């Protein structure tokens, strides 16, 4: 029987692969569980090998709802034509630095106006999967 050229399967990524792949993307998604269920917002970020660094404002929903909470940070790259790609999920805990000190190597804010609140996601668990052509 001929191989189905569209058939794809999922392969687990190692934690090292997850960290390396995540650095290749400019934007990831921060998710937390608020009073209305899960919230997911795109953010730019930097990584330092054990933390995700994001910048937000004290008035953001993330800051209002996510402090010292279990959060996730998700990054992916999907080729919709080829049906291949990968996705990485970093589970951790959110720490907002209300001292507002800029983290060395932290992300440049894209938004004008005050984005003065550094958010560090302390990563506790990393997992990821790659969607590849079936053999």
Chain contacts with its own copies (rule: CB under 8 A): 4, 6-10, 26-27, 29, 31-33, 36-42, 44, 70-72, 74, 76, 78, 80, 83, 85, 87, 89, 91, 110-113, 125, 131, 134
Q: Is 17 helix (H, G, I), strand (E, B) or coil?
A: helix
Comparison of 10 and 100: residue with beta carbon closer to its own copies: 10
Number of neighbours of residue 90 by Cβ within 10 angstroms: 26
- Selection from 91, 94, 89 nearest residue 118 by Cα: 94
Minimum CB separation of residue 93 from its own copies in Å reads: 9
Comparison of 118 and 130: residue with beta carbon closer to its own copies: 130
Minimum CB separation of residue 57 from its own copies in Å reads: 11
Q: Is 11 helix (H, G, I), strand (E, B) or coil?
A: strand
Minimum CB separation of residue 43 from its own copies in Å reads: 10
Comparison of 25 and 97: residue with beta carbon closer to its own copies: 25
Furthest-apart CA atoms within the chain: distance in Å? 64
Q: Would you say 50 and 57 are in contact if contact means Cβ atoms under 8 Å apart?
A: no
Residue 35 CA to residue 54 CA, distance in Å, equals 22
Minimum CB separation of residue 117 from its own copies in Å reads: 16
CA dihedral of residues 66, 70, 73, 78 (deg, nearest 10): -120
Comparison of 38 and 99: residue with beta carbon closer to its own copies: 38
């Amino acid at each position: 029987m001929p191989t189905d050229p569209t058939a794809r399967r999922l392969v687990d990524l190692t934690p090292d692969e997850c960290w390396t792949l995540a650095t290749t993307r400019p934007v990831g998604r921060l998710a937390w569980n608020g009073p209305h269920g899960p919230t997911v917002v795109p953010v730019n970020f930097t990584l330092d090998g054990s933390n995700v660094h994001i910048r937000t404002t004290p008035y953001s929903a993330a800051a209002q709802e996510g402090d010292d909470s279990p959060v996730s940070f998700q990054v992916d790259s999907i080729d919709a034509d080829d049906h291949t790609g990968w996705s990485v999920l970093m589970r951790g805990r959110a720490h907002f630095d209300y001292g507002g000190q800029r983290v060395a190597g932290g992300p440049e804010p894209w938004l004008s106006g005050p984005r003065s609140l550094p958010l560090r996601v302390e990563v506790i668990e990393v997992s990821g999967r790659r969607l590849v052509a079936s053999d």
